[in-house]
Chains A and B, each alone.
Chain A
């Protein structure tokens, strides 16, 4: 029930901002902008839109959809049959395999219906590498250096204070001796 509700929400959003490749006729597959770049191992959501089917009644269709890489190798695939009357829209998802290399990929959809009728559509997306936010590393490094400097300062404060006091004593002693010598003269 929860899954169905989620599917519905996503479908509504996709239908508002869909980018689709109009295939031969009556079949569109689209990916929302947010999923145009995905990480390997993550889900990709897409919509399959069927419209203007020739027959007016309910028609049994067979949907094949798969992800292919730039060499047209299939990396994920699914198949389902359903009945459609005139038009329909489906939201589907694939989990991009974790070992998918960064690059351009396609979602391909083929619909079989009626007497050996077939139409296809496709759309593309990119698998990208995880971007490391260097800013976080800089912040961590800065904080680490700051803490280290603070610790060094605390430990060396006493030492520096002692050194300073000893220097003051030496200066004072020299002054006392000099004044005594002057007074003698």
Chain B
């Protein structure tokens, strides 16, 4: 399956995320939210009239449990984040997608190499399952990281 890295201005990030989710209509997805809470994301998506019933949320912002079906993982625990994403990929039957919004936030809590390693593992795992990976990153942040992870993706937009 394909993996896509989208580099876009900060103000257009959410718009892009909405488009991606909408494009995967009826396909289960794993939404890894790194800069907004699951509640905020869901509200934004619902406002944009996007069905969130097929989405599994991993909230890395609010660490307090909000819903039973939402995973809360600290952004400095890349090992647990990777475990969770892999578990979802293996558990969901058929085709699915994963959206990481937004990647450079991980640099606040982890060093570049750790984040690059995390991205590599996710894309590798996705390629072994029926999973499409979409990672979003703002244009102005984490340039060094982006240079390291470009090669892990099949396609890079906005480079």
The interface of chain A, by Cβ under 8 A from chain B, is: 162, 165-166, 169-170, 172-174, 176-177, 179-180
Contact = CB atoms under 8 A, between A and B. Distances in A.
Interface string B49-60: 000000010000
Given A172-B71, A174-B87, A174-B91, A180 B80 contact: no
Contacts of B11: none
Given A172-B71, A173-B87, A177-B56, A166 B80 contact: yes
A180 B84 CA distance: 16
A177 B92 CA distance: 7
A179 B91 contact: no
B69 A176 contact: yes
Interface string B85-116: 00110011000000000000000000000000
* Interface size bracket, B side: 10 to 19
Given A170-B87, A177-B92, A180-B56, A165 B80 contact: yes
Nearest to A179: B69
Contact of B88 (A165, A166, A177): A177
Given A162-B79, A166-B80, A173 B88 contact: yes
Contacts of B69: 176, 179-180
By Cβ-Cβ distance, the 3 closest A-B pairs, closest first, are A173-B87, A177-B91, A166-B83
